[in-house]
Amino acid sequence: VTNARVPVLKCRSEELVDIDITFNNLLPLYNSRLLKAYSALDDRVAKLGRLVKYWAKRRAVNEALEGTLSSYSHCILLLHFLQQTGLLPNLQEKPEPEKPKEMFNGLHDVWFLNPQELLSSSEVWPRWAMQRPKEATLR
């Protein structure tokens, strides 16, 4: 793509999955890690994310260069909706009082609570489970 902010190569896999490869741009790696962490909580999150991305692509509302939201933005909106309905915890909510930071390029705080790095004895998940609405489910 010649008019992109960062160099990007667009290609398609044999399974017809669109792939964007960027150069000299590491921020998308952090974005992908965040999406993977949410998907690890429930595999249906990834399936629903793919459905939303498919919907946006079919309606041509997934191109930031065209003035619409990017596919990543649609995924973030989906995560926010699932958090507001109590179906997902907010992995980017920082615990008080230490408020950890993981800065990228001194501008972007890319820290999030990675569920795979938590000890099984952690109080994080039981606390979240007690706060979520009882009727909240993806099933």
List the one residue out of 67, 91, 72 whose CA is nearest residue 18. Answer: 72
pLDDT tens-place values along the chain, 139 residues long: 666 677 788 889 999 888 888 887 888 889 999 999 999 888 889 999 999 999 999 999 988 778 899 899 999 999 999 999 888 888 988 777 666 678 888 888 888 888 877 755 567 666 666 666 666 665 5
Round to whole Å and give the CA distance between 34 and 96.
Answer: 21
CA 3 to chain centre: 25
- Whole-angstrom CA distances from 79 to 4, 65, 95, 111 are 26, 23, 19, 16
Prediction pTM value: 0.76
Q: Are 83 and 93 in contact (CB under 8 A)?
A: no
